[in-house]
A = this chain, B = another copy of it.
């Protein structure tokens, strides 16, 4: 069930606030803290099956949100663009350092490097 951790953590980061507090707690323990169903059951006083159901329900809610709104996809596209911009700015920086030594170029390149850094 945890082979979708990265995707689920992204969805939780974006849409987690629409879940109930209890759902958020269980989801967080499972995906972010990597606890097992049995460990979460012990920690929360919910049966193991109840924990499993809560996680599946939360996954469905988050996936439906993404199907409707597509904001994680939109964010990923923006992040990819930023990553390419950062690489281009690093190359500009190298060219300037080795050939032009221009403070005017440098000032703009540094600004682009700073703004295109992860995390956004």
- Give residues in A with beta carbon < 8 Å to B: 14-15, 17-18, 65, 68-69, 71, 74-75, 77-78, 81-82, 84-85, 88-89, 91-92, 95-96, 99-100, 102, 104-105, 108-109, 111-112, 115-116, 120
Question: For the complex formed by this chain, how many copies does it contain in all?
Answer: 2
CB distance A104 to B95 under 8 Å?
yes
Partner of A69 from the list B15, B74, B78, B88 (CB cut-off 8 Å) is B15
In the complex, chain B residues whose CB is within 8 Å of the CB of A100: 100, 102, 105
In the complex, chain B residues whose CB is within 8 Å of the CB of A99: 102
CB distance A68 to B18 under 8 Å?
yes
The 8 A-B residue pairs with the shortest CB-CB distance, nearest first, are A17-B68, A88-B108, A81-B115, A92-B108, A88-B111, A88-B112, A85-B112, A91-B108
